[in-house]
Amino acid sequence: MPKLLLATSNPGKQREFRVLLADSSWEIVTPQELHLSLPDEEKETNYEENAIIKAENAARASGLMALADDSGIEVDALTGAPGVLSARFGGPGLDDTGRLNLMLEQLEDVPDGRRSARYRAVIAIVQSSGETRTFEGTCEGMIGRSPVGDGGFGYDPIFYIPVRGKTMAELTMEEKNEISHRAVAAKKAVEYLRSLAAYGSTGAS
C-alpha cells in the first residue's frame, strides 16, 4: 500500500484524518513516524494557499505524496473573522481555551439570532511531482453562550449545530465525521486518492 504523509503534528487532526482517510487505499503516516520536522509556514492569506504551502513542504521533505489542510471558523457578527487566523486569534499568548473565551467576550452583546458561523476547511494533496489538488468543505452552525462538551478541539465547545441540537464538542467521533467541515472535504479527497491508487500512482517522482 502506498504511503501518504499527513502534514500536521496536531494530535487532534491526526486522529480525525486517520479515521476520515481509512478507506483511501493509502497508508497514512505522520511527520513524527518519519522523524521529520516540518516548517509551520503560512502566509495567512487564504485557506487554500496555506494548505498547499504545508503540503508542498511535506512532499519536498519526504519524497512522498503529502496531504495538508487549513481550516478556520468564520463568525458573521465578526465580519468573517477570525477565519485563516483562527489558530492565532488573540495573539500567541492564548491557548485553545483562551481563544474560545476571547470569542465569547467579543460576542457577549450579540443576540442569538445573529451568532451564525461556519467552519471551513481546505485539503491540499501534493504529489512529489508537484501536481496539486484541493478540496473544500464547510459546516454551518451558531456560536453558543458558553462552552459545552469535552470532545474535539479548538472552538468545538462553543460551535452549536442546530440540526443536531449539540455543540461540535458533544458529538461522537462518528457523528462529527458525518458532518464536519474536514469530513466533507475529506470525502472528496478520498475519491481522488482512490482513483490514484487504482491507476497505480504512488505520488513518487
Residue 205 counted as domain residue: no
- Cell 489542510 belongs to 69
Separation between Cα atoms, residue 47 and residue 11, nearest integer Å: 20
Judge residue 10's burial from the number of C-beta atoms within 10 Å of its C-beta, 0-12 exposed, 13-18 middle, 19 or more buried.
middle
Residue 102 counted as domain residue: yes
Residue 42 counted as domain residue: yes
Considering its fold, how many domains does the chain have in total? Answer: 1
Distances (CA, A) of 24 to 17, 19, 175: 11, 10, 19
The pLDDT confidence band at residue 40, using thresholds 50, 70 and 90, is low
Residue 117 counted as domain residue: yes
Distances (CA, A) of 101 to 49, 85, 89, 167, 189: 28, 16, 11, 15, 33
Q: Answer whether residue 202 shows pLDDT above 60.
A: no
Are the CB atoms for 164 and 171 separated by under 8 Å?
Answer: yes
The per-residue pLDDT for 203 is 54
Residue 46 counted as domain residue: yes
Separation between Cα atoms, residue 48 and residue 11, nearest integer Å: 21
The per-residue pLDDT for 13 is 85
**Domain range spanning residue 27?**
3-198
Residue 204 counted as domain residue: no
Q: Which of 17, 24, 37, 73 is nearest to 202 (CA)?
A: 24
CATH number for position 13 = 3.90.950.10
Q: Which of 121, 117, 118, 90 is nearest to 188 (CA)?
A: 121
* Model confidence pLDDT, tens digit, residues 99-139: 999 999 999 999 999 999 999 999 999 998 889 999 999 99
Mean model confidence pLDDT for the chain: 92
Concerning whether 70 is annotated as a catalytic residue, the answer is yes
Annotated active-site residue in 23, 69, 70, 96: 70
The per-residue pLDDT for 152 is 84
* Model confidence pLDDT, tens digit, residues 46-69: 999 999 999 999 999 999 999 999
Residue 138 counted as domain residue: yes
Residue 203 counted as domain residue: no
Collapsing DSSP states into helix, strand and coil, what is residue 73?
Answer: strand
Give the mean model confidence (pLDDT) for residues 160-178: 95
